[in-house]
Structure 1
Amino acid sequence: MAEEDRPQTPPSPSAEERLLLAVPKKGRLYERVLSILKGAGLNYVRAARLDVAPCTNMPVTVVFLPAADIAKYVSEGNVDLGITGEDIIAESQAQVVELMKLGMGKCKLCFQAPKGTVSSPKELVGKRIVTSFPNITKTFFDSIDPSHKTSIKYVTGSVEVAPSLGLADAVVDLVETGTTMRAAGLEAVGTIMETQSVLISNPHTKHSDLIRLIYERIQGYITATRHCMVSYNCPKDKIELATAITPGHDSPTIMPLLDQGMVSITAMTRTTEVASVMDQLKQIGAVSIVVFDLINCRF
């Protein structure tokens, strides 16, 4: 075969042409974020000890960064897309576009004080506060009293020990289960914000079409993890009751059966509600009720 007749491999996109997607390089959400990337069809190769991983099937490079830095990098345009917490976005005062909430890493940013000492955050004006979120904390006190002289000290971790060491009257920290807080003799006396992980993008990215595609893929995968398909046979005279129980995403699929008095119905339902849905279907006379897991979906 002549050289000019050989199939040509398309050139790989240059580094400048690739979309950069930043994700946390470690932490409690690390494995869940990797599952999202896999569910979105982002196949990448990450060499040992490297934090840059080019995708093999899309013009995307995954960049593994400290979670606290991701919002800033996205805001400044160093990366185009990122996954981080709403609390980090607020603390860094980053200007980003929030594309979607991911429903994971849910917690609250709370005022915590020694048990029985404080009943409201307003009582802490002029006191000593230790926190890893000084900007959010200052904004809160500024909104209560612009002339306040509250001492806000920044620390990077283990803020819950500050009151017991006499270093603070209260702390501002994230609360998920409250176990650490209670072990330190603290109680929540007010919530500044509720937070969870979100998908964000740079407002001026040149990869808007690719970002839309990745967003739709992630949205479809997350929707699939929260839903399942229920299929069952139902008497024709119970269709209205059955479809009220399983309305589906758009509408249920209804198919005729050889038994002319019965139909087969298939519909999407929330995984958390499926046991109750099956009970209700059984009560109206549905039979052969089967539940299927969803791997992925797109709407």
Structure 2
Amino acid sequence: MDMVSHLNDRLLFAIPKKGRLYQQCLELLKGADIKFNRSNRLDIALCTNLPIALVFLPAADIPRFVGEGRVSLGITGQDQVAEAGILVEEVVDLNFGSCKLQVEVPVNGSISNPTELIGKNIVTSFTKLTSEYFKKLEASASGCDEAIVNGTEVPLKTNIKFVGGSVEASCALGIADAVVDLVESGETMRAAGLTPIDTIFETSAVLIASTHPTHSDLMAVIVNRIRGVLAASKYVLCNYNCSRANLEAVVRITPGRRAPTISPLEDSDWVAVSSMVEKKNSAEVMDQLRLAGAEDILLFNISNSRV
């Protein structure tokens, strides 16, 4: 961390420098009003409106920098956190970058069950998670509940090899019987002639924090802003009018995050109701409200929020 030793007055926030999470991270930072200029794709960018320095790192390295360095916040995949095995706090599931860490074999091969891979060659970028998976698989196949017998860890029979990139090519090039790799759409996997036979880990992007952060007050502000951006993207505001006689029924349909806002109208027998509803269910909610007696039902997008 010598490169940032002169930034003691700034909160350090690690962002993936490239890959599947990079662009969505930039959009999240924009929504949280974290402004910066990254000149010539340098690995450090100073924020122009907050005392924050963004540090652009490989996603796999971010858990270590957050867990062991002076970096207080970071965004990476839950798979990278689990693979690193370093103590960090998973603060917010960011609900993007979802994919699966899967065991993949040649589609035209003879292997269809993971137990058939015991003792064979497996190539992956996730050696820790893959080794743990095969330890449990081997223990189960041998009739044991654990990979430890009489206090001694049983040696792994399966040969786990590390490859940093192009994992899916390993079978075609003859160095693996199967691979363990992240699968998002599955296009790359299918193009390589592979098919999944088991899922080891389901993952998405996560905001992580150091257990010993600097600038704790500013960190809390940033976390709340990010939560607000996520809520704004997930919810819409539903406003409608209804008679007091139907109020109990419609409130059951739109209970809100905590409770709906209910305001009296000029007509004492009617009220106005305002409630946040999930965007993905909003059309169905409007239909149900109409059937329950609500009128003048309106939806409004939320540009930002604090929740």
Separation in 1 of the partners of 2:68 and 2:137? 31
Q: State the identity as a percent.
A: 49
Identify the match of residue 78 of structure 2 among 70, 74, 86: 86
Separation in 2 of the partners of 1:58 and 1:138? 42
Identify the match of residue 57 of structure 2 among 65, 90, 94: 65
Q: Give the match for residue 175 of structure 2.
A: 167
Separation in 2 of the partners of 1:255 and 1:204? 45
Q: Give the match for residue 66 of structure 2.
A: 74
Is 1:112 aligned to 2:104, yes or no? yes
Q: Give the match for residue 35 of structure 1.
A: 27
Query: Is the 1:112–1:188 contact (alpha carbons within 8 Å) kept by the matching residues of 2?
Result: yes
Indicate the larger mover: 45-54 or 251-260.
45-54
Q: Give the match for residue 123 of structure 1.
A: 116
Cα distance, 1:185–1:45 mapped onto 2, change above 3 Å = closer
Aligned residues: 286
- In structure 1, the gaps of 5 or more residues are 1-13
Root mean square deviation of aligned Cα: 1.7
* TM norm structure 1: 0.89
Query: Is the 2:70–2:213 contact (alpha carbons within 8 Å) kept by the matching residues of 1?
Result: no
* Secondary structure at the counterpart of residue 288 of structure 2: helix
Indicate the larger mover: 264-273 or 78-87.
78-87
Offset, 1:101: 1.1
Separation in 1 of the partners of 2:130 and 2:14? 26
Q: Give the letter aligned to residue 228 of structure 1.
A: V
* TM norm structure 2: 0.87
- In structure 2, the gaps of 5 or more residues are 1-5, 139-153
Offset, 1:89: 1.6
Q: Give the match for residue 273 of structure 2.
A: 265
Q: Give the match for residue 90 of structure 2.
A: 98
Q: How does 1:258-297 map to 2 (within 5 A)?
A: 258-297=266-305
Instruction: String of CA shifts for 1:100-142, please: whole Å, max 9, x gaps.
Output: 2111111110101123633332221101111111222122222
* Secondary structure at the counterpart of residue 204 of structure 1: coil
Separation in 1 of the partners of 2:58 and 2:17? 6
Offset, 1:296: 1.6
Q: Give the match for residue 44 of structure 1.
A: 36
* Secondary structure at the counterpart of residue 80 of structure 2: helix
* Secondary structure at the counterpart of residue 255 of structure 2: coil
The list of structure 1 runs, each at least 4 consecutive aligned residues, that deviate by more than 6 angstroms after superposition, is: none
Query: Is the 1:21–1:81 contact (alpha carbons within 8 Å) kept by the matching residues of 2?
Result: yes
* Secondary structure at the counterpart of residue 41 of structure 2: coil
Query: Is the 2:102–2:198 contact (alpha carbons within 8 Å) kept by the matching residues of 1?
Result: yes
